[in-house]
Amino acid sequence: MSKWSRISDAMSADSYADEHHVVALDFGMKWNIARYLQESGCRVTILPGTASAEEVLALSPDGIFLSNGPGDPEPLDYAINTIKNLLGKRPMFGICLGHQLFALASGAKTFKLKFGHRGANQPVQNLDSTRVEITAQNHGFAVEEETLPDHLE
């Protein structure tokens, strides 16, 4: 049995009793992300990005992942509203579009990058270890850091 599946797949909760259950909201997710979460010891249930907060919470996740995806996050009111309704109820994390949606739901602003970050070999410093890691990126929007609420960094 796969360690991750779409919500429509039948899963036995007993099979994953010792694993953290992460619900992923799919806004255009790359499948290797679900695989990496699974390899990190998580059971992953994937819901469409249009799922409601109630649908997410009904699955009793240990955490909520907001996936990457294409385009401008600002017009995605349905996702921003769902995330607002999830804030503070479970740990939540996101990448790319998911990170931007999380920021918008938290009251921050986003902006279109002049040229975007495209391709491989983008250095990113890990703030915990101070190590610089090389990443591959493909995004055209970013979060205005100065608009983040004080409780976010």
Element (H, E) at 35: helix 31-39
60-83 per-position pLDDT tens digit: 999 999 999 999 999 999 999 999
Residue with tokens 């499948």: 31
Segment among 13-22, 96-105, 123-132 with least mean pLDDT? 13-22
Residues 6+ positions from 17 with CB-CB distance below 8 Å: none
CATH topology of domain 18-107: Rossmann fold (3.40.50)
Q: Where are the domains of the chain?
A: 18-107
User: What is the per-residue pLDDT for 8?
Assistant: 41
The residue-averaged pLDDT of 11-38 equals 81
- Give helix then strand counts, H and E, for the chain: 4, 7
pTM of the predicted protein model: 0.80
DSSP codes, 38-78? HHTTEEEEEEETT--HHHHHTT--SEEEE---SS-STT-HH
Q: Which residues pair with 137 in a beta bridge?
A: 119
Q: Specify the residue for token string 């255009």.
A: 28
Instruction: Supply φ then ψ for residue 6, to 5 degrees.
Output: -75, 160
